[in-house]
């Protein structure tokens, strides 16, 4: 089977076929997740928390991201059907176009197929420039954890109509600028459905209800390896005597079948 590309994901959206995204930070889990049918491996800056034990994603460096991307790329290459590798550009590594290009080069040369950046329409020039340089981009909106200090905590975003309307406009502007994917974190399910209908590119959700084109979870969370507070949108798939491979398969299948997330995993406005 040929590997997953942004074209495969676009086709899946057009055919209303949902796909699964899972974080991966090393070779073994990357290969197992790809072999379980996960379409996109996200080398998330959540590694700052789940691997490095920090209390936010802010201290993560581009070098950290490139290292884990290279590990994931090696494992993924051994999978029967390699996944698409998407890597986060970390906090303050894309504040200017020049920084953004340098950071993207580092992670793309380490093995990423696309980058993810957090923000709203201020990202438009960066997305346009990266697209022209051949770098696919996912724009992450809603609860963007790199802005936790500005938000004053990890809170659901877009709950009032003015903020919801602005988020729809930002998503459309970013897709028009050349973003190939949109990711929505912790936004009301109804707003996520409106954004998914408003853009032609696939929309990935986490804490964004069941109407997005795809879902993402942090691997540790879906394996029940949560050490602190378990967010409402998390489901533990490591149940019923499953091993890790079975849990990955169950997650990918539940997303594809539209069984995960269920209404109780989402937020209201
Ligand atoms: O870093 C990460 O794992 C993420 C997902 C939670 C979307 O950005
Ligand atoms: Na992230």
pLDDT tens, position by position, 196-250: 999 999 999 999 999 999 999 999 999 999 888 899 999 999 999 999 999 999 9
Residue nearest to atom 8 of ligand 1 (CA): 44
Q: How far is the CA of 236 from the centre of ligand 1 (A)?
A: 17
Q: What is the pLDDT of residues 81-100, one digit of tens each?
A: 999 999 999 999 999 999 99
**What tokens does 47 get?**
């590694």
Atom of ligand 1 nearest to the CA of 47: 1
Contact 103, 93 (CB under 8 A): yes
Q: How far is the CA of 144 from the centre of ligand 1 (A)?
A: 9
Atom of ligand 1 nearest to the CA of 118: 8
> Is 160 known as a binding-site position?
no
- Per-residue pLDDT for 191 more than 90? yes
Q: How far is the CA of 44 from the centre of ligand 1 (A)?
A: 5
Binding pocket residue ranges, ligand 1, CB within 6 Å: 23, 42, 44-46, 88, 183, 185, 206, 216, 218
Mean predicted confidence (pLDDT) in 22-48:
98
Q: Which residue out of 185, 221, 223, 230 has the highest number of ligand 1 atoms within 8 Å of its CB and is therefore the one to mutate?
A: 185
Kindly list the domain boundaries of the chain, sorted by start residue. Answer: 4-263
CA 239 from centre of chain: 24
Q: What is the pLDDT of residues 148-170, one digit of tens each?
A: 999 999 999 999 999 999 999 99
Identify the weakest region by mean pLDDT among 36-40, 190-194, 226-230: 226-230
Residue nearest to atom 4 of ligand 1 (CA): 44
* pLDDT at residue 228 in the model: 83
Contact 210, 189 (CB under 8 A): yes
> Is 116 known as a binding-site position?
yes
* pLDDT at residue 227 in the model: 84
Q: What percent of the chain has pLDDT over 90?
A: 97
**What tokens does 54 get?**
């920090």
* pLDDT at residue 2 in the model: 86
- Per-residue pLDDT for 36 more than 70? yes
- Per-residue pLDDT for 1 more than 70? no
Active-site residue numbers?
Answer: 185
Residue nearest to atom 1 of ligand 1 (CA): 44
Q: What is the pLDDT of residues 117-136, one digit of tens each?
A: 999 999 999 999 999 999 99
Give the ligand with the smallest distance to the CA of 21. 1
Name the average pLDDT for the chain.
97
ipTM above 0.90, yes or no: yes
Mean predicted confidence (pLDDT) in 166-191:
98
Q: Which residues contact 48 (CB under 8 A, 6 or more apart)?
A: 54, 56, 57, 58, 59, 60, 64, 90
Mean predicted confidence (pLDDT) in 49-69:
98
Q: How far is the CA of 162 from the centre of ligand 2 (A)?
A: 25
* The CATH fold of domain 4-263: TIM Barrel (3.20.20)
- Per-residue pLDDT for 16 more than 70? yes
> Is 88 known as a binding-site position?
yes
Phi and psi angles of residue 138, each rounded to the nearest 5 degrees, phi first? -110, 130
Place of tokens 């809603």: 142
């Amino acid at each position: 089977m040929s590997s997953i590309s942004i074209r495969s994901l676009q086709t899946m959206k057009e055919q209303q076929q949902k796909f699964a995204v899972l974080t991966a930070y090393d070779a073994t889990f990357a290969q197992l997740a790809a072999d379980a049918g996960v379409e996109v491996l996200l080398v998330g800056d959540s590694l700052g928390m789940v691997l490095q034990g920090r209390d936010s994603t802010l201290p993560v460096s581009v070098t950290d991201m490139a290292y884990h991307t290279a590990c994931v790329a090696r494992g993924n290459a051994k999978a029967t059907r390699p996944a698409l590798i998407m890597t986060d550009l970390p906090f303050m590594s894309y504040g200017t176009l020049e920084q953004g290009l340098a950071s993207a080069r580092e992670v793309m040369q380490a093995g990423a197929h696309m980058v993810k950046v957090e923000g709203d329409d201020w990202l438009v020039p960066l997305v346009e420039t990266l697209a022209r340089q051949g770098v696919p981009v996912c724009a992450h909106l809603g609860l963007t954890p790199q802005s936790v200090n500005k938000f004053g905590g990890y809170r659901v975003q877009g709950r009032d109509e003015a903020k919801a309307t602005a988020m729809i406009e930002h998503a459309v502007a970013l897709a028009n600028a050349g973003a190939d994917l949109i990711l929505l974190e912790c936004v009301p399910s109804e707003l996520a459905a409106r954004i998914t209908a408003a853009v032609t590119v696939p929309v990935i959700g986490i804490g964004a209800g069941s109407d997005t084109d795809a879902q993402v979870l942090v691997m540790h969370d879906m394996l029940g390896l949560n050490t602190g507070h378990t967010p409402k949108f998390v489901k533990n798939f490591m149940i019923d005597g499953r091993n890790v491979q079975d849990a990955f398969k169950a997650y990918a299948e539940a997303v594809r079948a539209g069984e995960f997330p269920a209404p109780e995993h989402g937020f209201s406005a």
